[in-house]
Amino acid sequence: MCRIVAYLGGPEMTLSSVVIEPGHSLLVQSYAPKEMMSGVVNADGFGVGWYVTWSGEEPAVYRSDAPMWSDRSFASIAPKIRARTIFAAVRSATLGLPVEESGVPPFASGPFMFAHNGAVENFRHTAMRPLRDYLSDESYADLLGTTDSETIFALLIDRLQEEPGDLTGATTETIRLITRVCGKLGVRATLNLAVTDGERMAFARYSTEGPGNSLYFVEDGNAFPGAMVVASERLDEDEGWRVVPDRHVLTVEESGTSLCPL
C-alpha cells in the first residue's frame, strides 16, 4: 500500500511544509503509518510533483526508489521550492511487483499527475493482461513497468483524452472498468485513486470488496489557510479533517468541493 498527500489552492507553499514538516507528515508515514490495511512501512520509494506556472502545463516530478527518510537531496531542496499544487506519495510495493522507479508515484503524462493507494490482487497473473488489452496503442507504448498503478493510470489517460477537464468522470469510468474485469476474474482490487491537472483534483476511495483504504481532507486548515489538503492519513491534530466516505469520489475545483457516491 502507499500513502498520498495533495495540496491545492491557497498561497504557494514549500514542498517541505506539505510533505515533511507536519506532525504526521508523509515523511513520518513512510516509517510509522497509522492506518495501513497491509504492510508496516512505505520504504519502496517516494515521489513529489508540483506545477510551476512559468514553465508550461506539465508538472515537475521528483521520484526515487529509495525510502524518503534516506534522501538527503530531497530534504535539502524541499524547503526551497514553492507551488500552489503539490502531489506526493510514499510507496509500499505490492507483493510480487518490482521495487523500481517505474512503479513509484506520482505518475505523470502531459498536464496530469496520478497516484494509486491500493492493489489489484496477484496483478501480474490475473488482471494485468486483460486490463492492458483495453489500452490504446499510444498508452500501451508509454508503459515502462509492470505495476498495477501504472496500468491504471494508462487506462485513466485514455479516458481523459476524450474529456480532459472531466477528472471525476474519467476516474469513475476507470474504476468501473477495473471492477468489471476483476469481477469476472474473481480478483479483489483496492482503488484509492488520485489525479490532478494542476487546477483541479479528483480522489476516489473504493474497493471491490470490503472497506477502502483511509482517505481524509481538510479545507482552510490551521496549517494550510485558504487551501484544500487531501491525505491518506491526517497530517496533524486539526479538528477540521473529514473522512472521505467509502465508495465516494471527492472533486476539488476552484468553484468548490463535492462528494459523490461511486
Residues 6+ positions from 220 with CB-CB distance below 8 Å: 10, 226, 227, 240
Residue 138 has phi, psi (to 5 degrees) of -65, -45
Q: Would you please indicate which residues are annotated as catalytic (active-site) residues?
A: 2
Classified as helix, coil or strand, 173 is: helix
**Residues forming a β-bridge with 64:** 46
Whether the Cβ atoms of residue 173 and residue 181 lie closer than 8 Å to each other: no
Q: Which long-range contacts (CB under 8 A, 24 or more apart) does 128-132 make?
A: 130/181, 130/185, 131/155, 131/177, 131/178, 131/181
Label residue 237 exposed, middle or buried (CB < 10 Å: 0-12, 13-18, 19+).
exposed
The helix (run of H) or strand (run of E) holding residue 251 is strand 248-253
